Structure 1
């Protein structure tokens, strides 16, 4: 999705931030229980789950995130699309 909006990749764009990488890493690791994931979001990343999911959704539209971790990003895009289709 080249140039997919403000989060999209542009020539000479800056690399993903440490926070962006941490969000992708947490998603890659997965969590068996939503409570465990929420606690990890708060403790490891120091943010609310609401903010986390806002950042995650923006990352799913960012070409840099796709290049960094294509398996995770593609999986999460499929999940997001299935949820949208179910509405």
Structure 2
């Protein structure tokens, strides 16, 4: 399965903001990715101009979360 575009990753995260076992299953089922890979791609996607244009609120939330963890 090809890598989902940044917009698809942001849409998924906006629809499923809380981390849970159910979310991990949905990541595998709906996106065809491991949860680790999803979060790697999501973090990169949130830094793109495409993400900021598509969903600035979700992109900013992800970017801020990454900065707090660093």
TM-score class, shorter: 0.7 to 0.9
How many equivalent pairs are there? 67
Runs of 4+ deviating beyond 4 Å:
none
- TM-score in terms of structure 2 length: 0.82
Give the distance between the partners of 2:36 and 2:19, measured in 1 at CA: 17
2:59 counterpart of 1:80: no
* Structure (1 or 2) with the larger CA radius of gyration: 1
Cα deviation 1:12-69 (Å, max 9, x = unaligned): xxxxxx8222211111112445101101100000111111111111101111111110
Larger helix percent: 2
Query: Unaligned regions of 5+ residues in structure 2, if any?
Result: none
- TM-score in terms of structure 1 length: 0.68
> What CA RMSD, in Å, does the superposition of the two structures yield over aligned residues?
1.7
Query: Unaligned regions of 5+ residues in structure 1, if any?
Result: 1-17
